[in-house]
Chain A
Amino acid sequence: MDGRELRRDAAAPVDADNAPLMQLRGISKHFGGVTALDRIELKLFPSEIVAIVGDNGAGKSTLIKAISGNQPPDSGTFLFNGKLVEIRTPQDASRVGIETVYQDLALCDNLDTVQNLFLGNEKITSLRSGRRLNHALMESTAREALRDIGVATIRSLRSPVGRLSGGQRQGIAICRCILRDPRVVLLDEPTAALGVEQRQGVVRLIKRLKSESRSVIVISHDLHDVVLEVADRIVVLRLGRKVAEFQRTGINASDLVAAITGVQHFARGDVRSDTSANRMARE
């Protein structure tokens, strides 16, 4: 069945006349004897949302870390706008316009919202006023950016983010990434720690990224509320290999579950009822 799905991909490339924004070629990564990534090929088109799904240990996080420069692959190349680029550090990734929202959010709990939003990217006052941190400018920019993405309800931007709710923290992590105006946003399990309502907030943010003509790669286990809700294309990893690739249109959760587990008739009845629920939710 893997072959069938891969052929389907070959038959229906996304926006065939468009050039891909980013392209991964033969990305491999080994940890001792473990092959975490095995010659991964992946294209990402402008304004496209690609979801990466797979069981635990499939290599999803390793793939994100490779693209974000946190854990360079052993072999393989990255093309950005058709040009070969070297991504060995998060700064390399930033330079070509790739920003990451990490699974752990990478927030400093003891710093306030503004400090977190601008960490490593601070605004400085003019030479005449001593090249200090420009607290006022950063705060007003932060306020505007948060309002823009609908996270305007943080009571004080000047109190430590450790005191905020999971949804607010997720919003801050995404906002920080948007403030750097990326072309590509990588999200690793952005809804894993959130309640239902907060999850919808994040889904809306992901759609918003697309509407701002940014491309998104999102890892998620949440097939109904995230993957089938936002993805244009879905890539399935299993044991480090890309085993399937779907267009969102015309597939359902049971196809995905089958591809993820490699078992074709896995809990068929249950999945079907899930799927109809999912369809209803979407309509």
Chain B
Amino acid sequence: MSAEQVSGLSPSGRAPLVSRAAALLAGDWRYVPIATAIVLIWAFFALQNPAYLTPRNLSNLCLQSVVTGLLALGLVPVLLVGQIDMSVAAMSAVAATITGQLLLVERVSVWLAIAAGVLFGGCVGFLQARWITWTGTPAFLVTFGVSLALAALQLHLLPVTGQINLYGTDIVVLAGAYLPAGLSWALVIFAVLAFAAFRLSAFVESRDAGLEASVRSVVLPTFLVMVGLAVVVGALNMHNGVPIALLLFVVPIIVLVYIGSHTKFGLYLYATGGNPSAVARAGIDVDRIRIAAFVICGMFAAFGGIVGASRLLGVSAQSSGMGTLLLEAITAAVVGGTSLFGGRGSPWSALFGALAITSISNGIDLLGLGTEVKLATQGLVLVLATSVDSVANKFANDAR
């Protein structure tokens, strides 16, 4: 049976320009809009105040984006499976409190204290996901309820002063330390080589399987990664160096990106967000995938809170739990291109999204515009980002 015979099963002609552009934006060019947005934001604030684009402020900006970014990173798998976790901010606060109290009161080692906090996040994530999948209650409501309970738990755990002072404890290793310049360059070389090797093996596998493959798919991305890393590390080394906290954010992103595109579990995260009943009929335990997503989310939320405590050298009900952290984290993930409708997105969206919104709030602070401008802008960005997501989702559904 030849292909012509079944022309009924094929479209003919070229796709219209709009849908070709949409395909590009969904594929290789996925980060072009958000990267452009970041450049525009930077240009705008740099014109207002030259202090904005200094290595010192950029380094500060990176550190500021890490906490939001870690929460957003945890949200990515949950959003991918088409759910939401409204408890991430409260979770980060409680985990930071647990870690802080273990350090101060129990005097356990810093790693044990961190592990306990992260473990707590994972457990709460598991419990709420088990409840959601078992009862079928919308995740929005369950996790929102849990976040109130977590806020209460934090108040209970905090001493009567309402805050924990972590000054002088070992927790400072997370957010207060920087890589020596030599080590950072060695890491860059290692990262570029690893990336090139990975690309090369994909190229060889494609070629051996008889697929179209070109060496350009190895050389060009490797070159871009090399230039990008060199610029970032060079700029950061002009101030204190590469913050350890940035590594604690970027390395998990790379791990999650790998899981997302090279493991069954990662594939099932996307598939579950796309069509859960199809996934179930393919013999995959959908509930387990969803639960795993919430566990990852809880752990990253907890870790984000602990890194935040390390940065501020303290925990209070205000520092991490309340305020706008939750909405910032959701906005970051969505601004970065992870859809609220499930099945679309990437861990990189946490990095780009967190950088974008932190760049805005950092700039507003620098210009001394005050909280009202900041709140209004954050709200506007949230509405804008989710609207773009919704329109894109509608477009994807109409495209057929």
Contact = CB atoms under 8 A, between A and B. Distances in A.
A95 B128 CA distance: 34
Given A110-B343, A110-B344, A163-B399, A91 B9 contact: no
Give the residue among A125, A160, A165, A204 with the most B Cβ atoms within 10 A. Answer: A160
A78 interface: no
B206 A119 contact: no
24 contacts: A89-B283, A94-B283, A102-B281, A108-B274, A109-B400, A115-B271, A119-B284, A120-B284, A130-B262, A133-B264, A136-B208, A136-B209, A136-B211, A139-B206, A150-B3, A151-B9, A153-B3, A153-B7, A155-B11, A162-B396, A162-B397, A163-B19, A167-B10, A201-B9
B289 to A, nearest CB: 12
Contact of A151 (B6, B267, B277, B282): B6
* Chain A: number of interface residues, binned into ranges: 35 or more
A271 interface: no
Interface of A: 70, 89-91, 94, 100, 102, 104, 106-111, 115, 119-122, 124-125, 129-130, 132-137, 139-140, 143, 147, 149-155, 158-160, 162-168, 170-171, 195-201, 204, 208
A146 to B, nearest CB: 10
A164 B283 CA distance: 25
B1 interface: yes
A198 B343 contact: no
**A-B complex: 3 closest residue pairs judged by Cβ atoms:** A120-B282, A197-B8, A153-B10
A115 to B, nearest CB: 6
Contact of A106 (B15, B270, B282, B396): B282
Nearest to A94: B283
Nearest to B258: A132
B77 interface: no
Given A171-B9, A198-B8, A162 B400 contact: yes
Give the residue among A134, A150, A164, A208 with the most B Cβ atoms within 10 A. Answer: A150
Given A110-B344, A133-B261, 15 more contacts: A106-B277, A106-B282, A111-B270, A122-B267, A136-B205, A150-B1, A151-B10, A153-B3, A160-B26, A162-B399, A162-B400, A163-B19, A163-B23, A163-B396, A165-B400
Interface in B322-337: none
B273 A147 contact: no
Interface in B4-23: 5-11, 15, 19, 23
Contacts of A154: 10
Contacts of B283: 89-91, 94, 120
Contacts of B282: 90, 106, 119-121
B400 A163 contact: yes
A200 B8 contact: yes
Nearest to B399: A163
A84 B263 CA distance: 37
* Chain B: number of interface residues, binned into ranges: 35 or more
A140 B261 CA distance: 18
Contacts of B277: 106
B6 A108 contact: no
A134 B120 CA distance: 35
B27 interface: yes
B278 interface: yes
B338 to A, nearest CB: 12
Interface in B252-267: 261-264, 267
B275 A165 contact: no
A223 to B, nearest CB: 20
B136 interface: no
A201 B8 contact: yes
Contacts of A151: 6, 9-10
A217 to B, nearest CB: 17
A134 B202 CA distance: 9
Contacts of B211: 136, 139-140, 143
A129 to B, nearest CB: 7
A155 B27 CA distance: 15
Contacts of B205: 125, 134-137
Contacts of A143: 211
A110 B209 contact: no
B2 interface: yes
B263 A140 contact: no
Nearest to A109: B274
B172 interface: no
A121 to B, nearest CB: 7
A122 B19 contact: no
Contacts of A137: 205, 209
Given A136-B205, A160-B26, A108 B3 contact: no
Given A159-B27, A160-B26, A150 B6 contact: yes
Given A136-B205, A151-B6, A164 B267 contact: no
